[in-house]
A and B are shown apart, each in its own frame.
Chain A
Amino acid sequence: MGTRMRNSLSVNFMLVFQSKFWKRSIIFVFIFLVFNPVFAYNPDDVARDFLWNKVINLAKENRPKAALALSAGGTRGFAHVGVLRVLTDAGMPIDCVAGASAGAFVGAFYSAGYPLQKLWDIVSDVDVKMNLRGFVNLTMIQIAFMDKLASSGKIEKMVNKAIGDISFKDLKIPFSCSAMDIKTGEKIIFNSGKVSKAVRASMNLPGIFKPVEYRHRYLVDGGVIDYLPVDSAKKLCKGGWILASVTKGDFSLQSLKNVLSYYLQVIEIRGSLLIANEAKKANFVIEPNVGEIGSTDLANSLAAGKIGLRQAYRDLNLVKESYILFSLKNVLEKYFKN
């Protein structure tokens, strides 16, 4: 494909042309000459490929662990599935996963070894497959007349159906997810017990869903307190390299059309403050541009997945470089030993 593609002309570039035709043609010819080399040689590509193949072929115990921290973000969180697709294609080792809310959902499936293609299929039609249609359109009147909070039990059932009624110890990759105790405000990190219950608690929107009762605690959505669980990832993969996938909302773009959207907006704003601190602790941050997608905009789950995939693919070389540099001593050990 490399020789076929005359690439690197930005999408917007053509729209810039407003001058006379001959001027534009000259510029176009120039662009073709500059961006259409018969073969584009980049020394970094060769060095990166060489070292990448070395690092990913090292035995697990001979290289630094690689952890993923998957942020909350509702529908936007499905961008993580796209990110995972790219990382998996590239052979990126993933030794542990920490997630919050939507990140917990995606992380649990991945850690259980659920096929990414099937997870992508869920993302393609998430409101039907998760049977969540309805709650996202709650109006002020409906909420005012609700005498009790809805149950998030559907999430638990759905997780159980897909990955089985398994415990954390049964997962193929170490995984943790976070929730908040609504009575004490404490951050609760799940890394044992039933996975589906933990994922449900981590996705349990306060004020909409009933708190999940678990070991005398009343648990609500982990995104409220641990929007980007980098610390949890660090605990799982001690001394490891941390990749954060961040699906921050652009709250200036959200249309506040009902009570729920105002309420979620507050969580979003708080979430972005939490991200600012946590992202600094990660070794690399992938930030898909999903800000325009509302957290309950389930119709756009596939769009979020696609944006995540495209962003991860754009960042892939930098991700590889970051992990290679982190592991350089291990990669070149046999050279240094001589």
Chain B
Amino acid sequence: MYWKNILKIKIALALCLSITASLYAGKSSDLQNEFNVAKKLYEEGNYSQSIDRLENLLDETPKSKLKRKAYRYLAESYQHLGKFEKALSIYQLAVEIYPKDVGFLTSLGKLYYDFNLLDRTKEMMENALQISPSAFEANEYMAYAYEHLGFLSEASSYYEKALKYSPEKTPNLWHNFSLCLYKQRKFQKSMEAIKISLDFEPENPEFLFTLARIEYALGESTSALSNIKKASVLMPERKDILLTFALWLIDEGNTSESLKMASLVLKKEPSEPLALWVSALAYIRKGKIPLALDYLNSAVKTKSPFISETSNRMIKELKN
């Protein structure tokens, strides 16, 4: 009798266990399905709907692996919707739960960087690099953060690491590295870096402009003028390129061409400060002082403090 009762209890327990297991399996597969739907919505660009599903799923799911993915899609969905503060809080929570997840650390660091929270960017990226020293993006953003803070040699060494660990062609990263070296007046190295960028994208006007600036700094004015000309043809809307070109032409004695460029800008914006100043400089070079004074007087009235003050002092100098 006793053994019979024991057997009954065992059978009852086994039944209970199998029912619970099948229920759990069903629920787990439901959650996986729910996640797949949310992921599909995300991939289709239906971020709001994806967020609804992911938030429900995160309330329910006990599975760490799924949860981790859900946090990522949730944060990215918020980012796509421009709800950056919400994305930030999701990443902060994810980093708290998964402190050794390099992906979350890097994503949070990148978001901090976007908001100019550079010390926090560094903190996150340092954590990521402690776990994975070859994490490409962590090295890349360490370089950006250091550069933005003025630590240019530290930035350079992180650029080198980022370029070493980069998984693909990175012409923009080479360009950024080149600019960082340019700021340190390491022109030869800067030239080497920009040439690699240009190997990838020979017609990139931004790269050509940087190359021209390096060449100009090195005194190679012929090739600098040729490259800035190419850049300004490729990006005619960029006033900085056009007017830098105009300034260099004044130095070369080609004041007529320089004045043409400045007048192109002034036709659209009659009180453009730099174009006024460039015109004044060209007229001084041509010896037409009254015309130069007219332009300088206009430049003084602009809202560019440095050009205004420089023009003011130039007027005094010319009147002496």
Task: List residues of A whose CB falls within 8 A of some B CB.
Answer: 1, 4-11, 13-14, 17, 21, 24-25, 28-29, 32, 39, 41-51, 53, 85-86, 89-91, 117, 306, 309-310, 312-314, 316, 321, 324-325, 328-329, 332, 335-336, 338
Contacts and interface: CB of A to CB of B under 8 A. Distances in A.
Contacts of B238: 39, 41
B144 interface: yes
B196 interface: no
Nearest to B140: A4
A25 B286 CA distance: 55
A313 B284 contact: no
B76 interface: no
Contacts, number: 132
A7 B314 contact: no
A46 B302 CA distance: 15
The B interface, classified by DSSP as helix, strand, loop or mixed, is helix
B217 A53 contact: yes
Contacts of B239: 41, 43
Contact of A336 (B82, B247, B317): B317
B243 interface: yes
Nearest to B115: A9
Contacts of B151: 306, 309
A24 B115 CA distance: 14
Contact of A328 (B82, B113, B183, B310): B310
A316 B148 CA distance: 13
B71 to A, nearest CB: 18
A43 B272 contact: yes
Interface residues of B, number: 55
Sorted from nearest, which 8 A-B pairs have the closest CB atoms?
A313-B150, A43-B274, A44-B306, A43-B273, A6-B114, A7-B116, A89-B184, A43-B304
A117 B184 CA distance: 14
B128 interface: no
B244 A1 contact: no
B116 A44 contact: no
A28 B83 contact: yes
Q: In this complex, which of B115, B244, B273, B307 has the most chain A Cβ atoms within 10 angstroms of its Cβ? A: B115
Given A1-B144, A28-B82, A43-B274, A325 B185 contact: no
Nearest to A17: B85
B147 A1 contact: yes
A335 B284 contact: yes
A25 B243 CA distance: 38
